[in-house]
A and B are shown apart, each in its own frame.
Chain A
Amino acid sequence: MAGGAAPGGSVQSKTYREARGWLLLPAWVTLGILTLAPLTIMLVYSFLTKEFRGGVIWEFSLDAYDQFFFDRGLFGDEPPRIEWTYIGIFWRSIWQAGAATILSLLIGFPTACFIATRPEKERTLWVFLVTIPYWVNLLIRTVSMKFLLRDEGPLSDGLIAIGAISEPLGIVNTNLAVQLGLFYSYLPFMVLPIYAAVERYNFALSEAAADLYAPRWTVLRRILLPVVKPGIVAGCILVFVPSLGSFLAPDLLGGAKNFMIGSLIEEQFKGNAGNWPFGAAASMILLTLVLILLIASARQSQKRDG
């Protein structure tokens, strides 16, 4: 404009770009404070030396990672062997979170379909009903779950009363109890994204498939499931990831044997007994694992669509 040489369009788009940069500032600040900064702190701490009463000494060290993967004997002077304890805890956590995810999917998918096929006015009510228990604090919900499941609890007593079982249930402090706890903790995260996908689903597609000689189950498998798959994948990720790092359900329902990653990490930062660099390292390893899973699932769905 000033020299008359620059075409108006490009001048305008430059100011536009500047304005947009400023408008994005809050987003960048939030991302920086809430995501990048904590991650950087964790990453740095995982490479520091531990202080015995909690906290860190500012001295570079690979001890935390070494301790996670290798066993060098009680005094640290033996040749290194693979340390299976923590890898085992990770493996069990993945297994528990996976089982909870599958359980949520099996219950959540039909629930979501049910809600999505109600008359439009009723749907909000059903969604509300599904989310009501989640207004209560997770700790209280998990404790209540323990009361429900324990041997003198209503579930066990009820089943004995109707003669379905003769011995008390004996379910508390097992893997199953943890899975049920995780399932109950995160069920809405499965139901809501699937509900959103099924609600958008055009049921004329099911009719078209039936018209083309597909029996009901084939319609479900070949048409409905693939079309709402993005919702299912989102639901699975939203249940699996927090389940993996969860510590309330394993602590309260699983007892000491059924330790999961969340509890392991939690312990490192609790009281004076913890090991901060080790907790940070375990968190970084968990994060890496989750990222690998997410990237793999994104790749997979990209390949399908592309």
Chain B
Amino acid sequence: MPQDREIAIEVQNAVKHYGTFTALKTISLSIRDNEFFTLLGPSGCGKTTLLRMIAGFEDVTEGAIYLYGDEIDRLPPHKRPVNTVFQNYALFPHMTVLENVGFGLEMLGKSKAEARARAGEVLEMVRLSQFAARKPSQLSGGQQQRVALARALAPRPKVLLLDEPLSALDLKLRKAMQVELKHLQRETGITFIFVTHDQAEALTMSDRIAVMSEGELQQLGEAREIYERPRNVFVADFIGDTNLMEVTVDKVEGSRAQCHLGGGHKLTCDSVDGIGPGAKVHMSLRPERLFLSADPVEAESLSGTVRETIYIGTDIATVVELEDGPQFTIRSSNSTRGNARVFEAGTPVAVNMEMGAARLLVD
């Protein structure tokens, strides 16, 4: 149905049941050509299921999947021009690295020589040329990971699917691979669909992110949009750190809303669609958009007492107990300027907000 060449993958009202269990509840999303797209969500939310439906390992219970306008949801996996980097790599243990990488090309009918040449090229790209003759069991985890990547890239798929490919690597290697993956995506121009449960990884790597929870799409947008304008409590809480508190809405004017806290303290927040006067909703305050001062800076400043300060390295987090009850975390950068806003435990302080720091959320 969709004929758009700009859309690599179109998932339309896809539903997945495993017996009586519903793993995906009516998901629709479009993934653009040449995009680094991330499916993000906690473990068990259905990311792998959706990816396997695109690859062809699971059938769709209802709905349709299109690849550049062609419906693919009835094709067997070996007829879909998409390749997968598996979570545990699934390298063929009886083949050398070079044979592993050349396998897909051979299956596409390329001659042995041609397959070898292209496989060598791709191994070069992931800097593994010197290991071409080894068996996968003779490589480290990180190297196996790059072989899996090379094997999936070698046949030049239209879309590359990556299911938590970095989760088995240690932190330092993971950071390096994040950069390398991003770089490879730019270089090859292939659309990447990347699955992760790590929100920081998703934020640093993705052009756009789909946040999922319990088989449902919660929000889809660019990293900045998802972080700064979360649509609901789940997204605000899952992406980054935040302070959530309940407020009552008094008045809505355009995109701004007047609210008050339980103790009656008045606040002005950014609002979202679907919130009207009288509603009791949650408000999100990002810790880095708040700052402390000895005296209130403005009328809306909240007052409280410092409970503890936590040294994080790049930042210092201060936990403040508000007069109205809830605890707040405030972050300031570990710099001369930031440190001027750090107070000892027990000091009474004012919590001040930058413009737009407070956001209302639907549940």
Binding site for B on A (CB under 8 A): 202, 204-205, 207-215, 218, 222-223, 226-227, 304
Contact of A212 among B57, B76, B94, B151 (CB under 8 A): B151
Known: A209-B103, A210-B57, A223-B92. 16 other contacts (CB 8 A): A205-B92, A205-B93, A208-B86, A208-B91, A208-B92, A210-B78, A211-B56, A211-B83, A212-B104, A212-B107, A213-B78, A213-B79, A214-B78, A218-B107, A226-B94, A227-B92
What would 16 A/B residue contacts be, using CB atoms closer than 8 Å?
Answer: A202-B90, A205-B90, A205-B93, A207-B84, A207-B90, A208-B90, A208-B91, A209-B107, A210-B56, A210-B57, A211-B82, A212-B83, A213-B79, A218-B107, A223-B92, A227-B94
A207 touching B107 by the CB < 8 A rule? no
Give bound CA distance, A205 to B100, whole Å. 11
Give bound CA distance, A207 to B82, whole Å. 13
- Which single residue of chain A is at the shortest CB-CB distance from B161? A211
Among all A-B residue pairs, the 10 with the closest Cβ atoms: A212-B104, A213-B107, A208-B90, A204-B90, A210-B77, A226-B94, A210-B78, A214-B107, A213-B78, A211-B84
- Which single residue of chain B is at the shortest CB-CB distance from A229? B94
Contact of B258 with A by CB under 8 A = no
Give, as a whole number of angstroms, the nearest-CB distance from A262 to chain B. 37
Residues A209 and B84 in contact in the complex (CB < 8 Å), given A214-B107, A218-B107:
no
Contact of B108 with A by CB under 8 A = yes
Give bound CA distance, A210 to B58, whole Å. 13
Contact of B165 with A by CB under 8 A = no
Contact of B86 among A204, A227, A304 (CB under 8 A): A204
A209 touching B92 by the CB < 8 A rule? yes
B108 touching A213 by the CB < 8 A rule? yes
Give bound CA distance, A213 to B107, whole Å. 6
Quick one: CB contact mask for B66-82 with A, threshold 8 Å, 1 for yes? 00000000001111001
- Which single residue of chain B is at the shortest CB-CB distance from A223? B92
Give, as a whole number of angstroms, the nearest-CB distance from A35 to chain B. 33
Give, as a whole number of angstroms, the nearest-CB distance from B157 to chain A. 9
**Chain A residues closer than 8 Å to B57, beta-carbon distance:** 207, 210-211
Contact of B155 among A204, A205, A212, A304 (CB under 8 A): A212
Contact of B104 among A202, A213, A226, A304 (CB under 8 A): A213
Give, as a whole number of angstroms, the nearest-CB distance from A233 to chain B. 14
Quick one: CB contact mask for B275-311 with A, threshold 8 Å, 1 for yes? 0000000000000000000000000000000000000
**Chain A residues closer than 8 Å to B93, beta-carbon distance:** 205, 227
Give bound CA distance, A210 to B103, whole Å. 11
Residues A208 and B84 in contact in the complex (CB < 8 Å), given A213-B78, A226-B94:
yes
Give bound CA distance, A209 to B107, whole Å. 9
Give, as a whole number of angstroms, the nearest-CB distance from B159 to chain A. 12
Give bound CA distance, A201 to B52, whole Å. 20
Give, as a whole number of angstroms, the nearest-CB distance from A202 to chain B. 7
Give, as a whole number of angstroms, the nearest-CB distance from A209 to chain B. 7
- Which single residue of chain B is at the shortest CB-CB distance from A211? B84
**Chain B residues closer than 8 Å to A204, beta-carbon distance:** 86, 88, 90
- Which single residue of chain B is at the shortest CB-CB distance from A215? B78
A211 touching B55 by the CB < 8 A rule? yes
- Which single residue of chain B is at the shortest CB-CB distance from A304? B94
